[in-house]
Structure 1
């Protein structure tokens, strides 16, 4: 028999996302959005007619946003040891002897039209989070290396500048726009070293953009199918459910 519509008396609010977790989410979302927009512009720099100085400026903004994303990510990793029960590693990553059974039960219930509700992340979301975090870490690490090869910025820029500096040139004076500061043989060798890292960064970018799109679709579908005020909870910190949650 179909269930009657949930009445207001059956709705219950649960505290879920603490303030540090909500700040992380929105800072990360804005930083990644900015990185994607600038990344797309840089990928089409020739078609857009960008000058060398324009490309350098955009790369500088891109790297600054990358620093914001990376530091924010480190903060979230630390907070996963200290936050509330729904923000800790045990609640956001897909591990534990019972996880796969919970995932199967969640999938079956979802397909049956009687979805299980979770205050924190459901099992499918925990899988998605693991993939997102891995991709963000990969982008942060490869991006930090490329910041060193392109702009000679920290954390690796000093090492790359010392590698490619022309004889008698202080590595601090090396500039991608000043060919006279570069030893061209060393610079070509550095660019060859950089090439596979660029490839990893580029293709991980495509995968990350696809996963983010799937994440947004999943949030919309889950919001419609299950309710639970998933989107508003990232502003208010509270979820409103009409079934007993599985993780309370």
Structure 2
């Protein structure tokens, strides 16, 4: 198993839900985590809690992943603080009105900007240094909506199909470079994004954000010759 102690990870969408769970789990493994999201107040509060635990260090960097310059500054600050970036977790996401018939063009644009462009901006910013070192790990958080489309999820699903396509293509581009790529597609998770509450249809229990964090750690801790490309996590 790979030892994560002392490595550095950027986690976008780290102010709530799956993102904060991933950041917390990585910190318990001794990873220095760079927390990225738009809310500085939330990020600082989370960073304070993680730093008090005295495991991996935490740095809060307010970031709009839909802004390329913001993402580049995020990576620069991570390198200035910790020397390098070993892991990028693209977790920031928007799940808004997804039906084309609804005509919510501005909401479509927000989802495309965050869910697709944000992922690409992050990859673009960390990849040159990872290639130079011949090591690194990019983890993209997609969704089961990237496999299945409902009548209300057309545009959202399109963005998550795109994340899966980016992950699949990037893995092939980076074969034999030492840089690994993992796509994780969660089912319904109990987060503010899903409307909260522990159950949904027919009383089924939603996944916990910690379940996705565990999947991230599983992918990261495989031997360096193992590339876990796709993980799908669904409720029973």
Which has the greater radius of gyration?
A: 1
TM class, shorter-length: under 0.3
Structure 1 length normalisation: TM-score?
A: 0.23
From the two aligned structures, give the one with the greater helix fraction.
1
From the two aligned structures, give the one with the greater strand fraction.
2
